[in-house]
Chains A and B, each alone.
Chain A
Amino acid sequence: MNNLVKILLNLIIVGAFSGAVLAAVFSVADPMIQANKEKELKESIFKVLPEAKDFKTLEKVLGPEEKVVIYLGVDEARNPVGVAFKADGGGFQGNIGVMVGLSLDYLKLKNIEILDQLETPGLGDRIREASFKDQFKGVEVQPKVEYIKYKKPEKPNQIQAITGATISSDAVVKNINNAVARLARAFPKEELSKVDTSAADPAVKPASAEVK
């Protein structure tokens, strides 16, 4: 009996102590972690929408499993300059997450940024290099982005795939095309022009409010 009490006390004390310490550390660390994430997101949005000084987050639920989140970039006078959104999809090894900046008329890419990737180092992960990403500046997305191999792009909707990393290049292009199509479905152009951009985005709030 005594032993049972000892066992129970052991576990209760260890558990309670651990819980208390975790709570304390979490309350300090979590705002910083959220701030890091937000900083990363912001930086990538401003990178793909170079004219933007701020952005407004728009969300729309398309179905039970599908939620579209886009970021409408605005300049200093709070006029919309372009729309940014994340394009996810499978690459050679894992998810490739691309932040895409698109013009307001949904016709031309402004820039892209690779956020997450697990491609083969030295091969597929060259999609992060400027020489690949910069190709997407000004590329037309209608009817869709294409890639060609071994030679310079000929049409305004083409980019050149990385030699030896066709699958990774293909995945980036596919992700962009899918995400653009989804964007057009969720937010028709006309709807976007009606969005009130005068107010600052409430998403730019102290990060500690995000604690879940």
Chain B
Amino acid sequence: MAGNSLFYEFKKGLWQEIPPFRLVLGTCPTLAVTNSAVNGIAMGLATLFVLLFANIIISALRKYVAMQVRIAAYVVIIALLVTVTDMFMAAMFPPISKALGPYIPLIIVNCIILGRAEAFAQKNPVVPSIADALGIGIGFTLSLATMGVIRELLGFGSIFNVKLLGEWFEPWIVMILPAGAFLVYGGLVAAVNWISSRKEAAAKAAAEA
């Protein structure tokens, strides 16, 4: 039973509560840094790292933090993690750090992280919090990667910098621009909703039968 619920906490982030498409959370990085697959995944992994450790620390401290100042304490912890991530990336991967620009520091205000802290980590023990962070974080990374793959394919004709479409393809520059992010985002939200509604309808039909 415990294993099942742990798996549920992990799995819900991958589809049922996949942050940008179902919860419409974390849209700022989803729109801003997904102009290539590499950027999307780097941003997703950075967020996953911060989310994981924020959930662990906040969950471990949940009995000691006073209710009145919990948000302040969470924000300091999240800011610490984000700053460490930012410095780590600037030191080890300068090109990616340059491409992501201010969006790594902006993870501090990413509502997914504070949202999970409030909604999950402060009420649950460490192990389920890890499962929750991994699920949501991986779901977020996959969402950004999907956006990045679509935009890079249409905007540059490549995926992970590997040219896939030949000379005949005239890149759609709009896809690398902010407008393209909104178009792809809207399309993906619609697609996710459409698939879910079909699934629900099928489940309902099965239940009735």
A residues with a Cβ closer than 8 A to B are 3, 6-7, 10-11, 14-15, 18, 21-22, 25-26, 28-30, 32-33, 36, 40, 120-123
List of A residues within 8 angstroms of B77 by Cβ? 14, 18
- B35 at the A interface (CB under 8 A): yes
Question: B88 and A7: CB pair below 8 A?
Answer: no
Q: How far is the CB of B26 from chain A (nearest CB, A)?
A: 23
Q: Report the tally of A-B residue pairs with Cβ distances under 8 A.
A: 63
Q: How far is the CB of A19 from chain B (nearest CB, A)?
A: 9
Question: A121 and B176: CB pair below 8 A?
Answer: yes
Task: Identify whether the interface residues of B are mostly helix, strand, loop, or mixed.
Answer: helix
- B68 at the A interface (CB under 8 A): yes
Question: B73 and A22: CB pair below 8 A?
Answer: no
Question: B94 and A18: CB pair below 8 A?
Answer: no
Question: A11 and B177: CB pair below 8 A?
Answer: no
CA distance A26 to B88 in the complex (A): 9
Question: A21 and B173: CB pair below 8 A?
Answer: no
Q: Can you list, as one digit per residue, whether each of B142-177 has a CB less than 8 Å from chain A (1) or not (0)? A: 000000000000011000000000000001010011
Segment at the interface with A among B14-22, B40-48, B78-86, B196-204: B78-86
List of B residues within 8 angstroms of A120 by Cβ? 173, 177
Question: B87 and A14: CB pair below 8 A?
Answer: no
CA distance A9 to B173 in the complex (A): 53
Question: B73 and A11: CB pair below 8 A?
Answer: yes
List of A residues within 8 angstroms of B91 by Cβ? 28-30, 32-33, 36
Task: Number of B interface residues at 8 Å Cβ cutoff, please give it.
Answer: 26
- B66 at the A interface (CB under 8 A): yes
The answer to whether A26 and B90 touch (CB under 8 A), given A7-B69, A122-B171, is no
The 6 closest A-B pairs by CB, nearest first: A32-B91, A29-B87, A18-B80, A122-B173, A121-B176, A29-B91
Question: A15 and B76: CB pair below 8 A?
Answer: yes
Q: How far is the CB of A154 from chain B (nearest CB, A)?
A: 31
Q: Can you list, as one digit per residue, whether each of B9-45 has a CB less than 8 Å from chain A (1) or not (0)? A: 0000000000000000000000000010000000000
For B84, the closest partner residue in chain A by CB is A25
Which residues of chain B from 83 to 123 have a CB within 8 Å of any chain A CB?
Answer: 83-84, 87-88, 90-92, 94
Q: Residue among B84, B91, B94 with the most chain A CB within 10 A?
A: B91
Question: A10 and B80: CB pair below 8 A?
Answer: no
